[in-house]
Amino acid sequence: MEDRTENSSSKFPKQAGWLIGGITIAVPLAVLLLYLLPKSGNVPGIIRHCPMLNAILNGSCTVLLTFSFIAIKNKKVKLHRNLNIAAFILSALFLVSYVAYHFFGKETLFPKENPLRPLYLFILASHITLSAVVLPLVLLSFYYGLTGNIARHRIIARRTLPIWLYVTVTGVVVYLMISPFYTFQ
């Protein structure tokens, strides 16, 4: 992809802003709503596999983002773009799986008597908080990258990558820590 920054308008289109803002607000609200809705006692069989699927999707995103970073450092722009698109798609699939699980699934709590509980809660809280923070950054980074505004893409991506990596890695860690306590497996 060529750098079209000089030819691009410096004005951010209102439609893109509304879409990014809407998604940034709608996703956390939808997740919060899922926690407030009553849960079914009967979890469909396929839903039981969502936590592991989510960990696999997060781990795969970590790998893709790492290779994407290496690709852009080696000036392999097309590979970088394709890896980021793949990571974006996997993150979207994660979100669908996460929503499906929390719509049907029962909440699994980390045991209070477990000495690792404070560490688990810290990792979980930072994971949740930063997943909300990274969403608009990912969307802006993608917007600027796909529209050819490479200068702005670089500025946003430098902030986005470490946060997105942290979220994907801690997603796997959270799964590994809580999975022994799932009651349906």
What is the mean pLDDT of each successive set of 10 residues along the chain, which is 185 residues long? 45 80 86 76 80 96 98 97 96 90 82 96 96 94 92 96 98 96 73
Domains, in order of start, for the chain: 46-181 (1.20.120.80)
Alpha-carbon span 144 to 102, nearest angstrom? 32
d(CA 131, CA 168): 9
Q: Tell which residue, 176, 87, 161, 160, has the closest CA to residue 123.
A: 176
Compute the distance between CA of residue 143 and CA of residue 138 in angstroms, rounded to an integer: 8
**Residue 41, pLDDT score:** 65
Running DSSP on this structure, what letter comes out for residue 18?
Answer: H
AA letter at 56? I
Report pLDDT for 130.
96
Per this entry, what is the length of the chain? 185
Measured CA to CA, the distance from residue 20 to residue 3 in angstroms comes to 22
Per-residue confidence (pLDDT) for residue 99, from 0 to 100: 84
Q: What is the spatial distance between Cα 117 and Cα 140, in angstroms, rounded to a whole number?
A: 35
pTM of the model: 0.84
Question: What pLDDT is recorded for position 46?
Answer: 84
Backbone angles phi, psi at 6, to 5 degrees: -65, -30
Task: Determine the pLDDT at residue 173.
Answer: 98
Q: Which helix (H) or strand (E) holds 173?
A: helix 150-178
Cβ contact 47:101 at 8 Å? yes
Q: What is the pLDDT of residue 40?
A: 66
* pLDDT given at position 118: 97
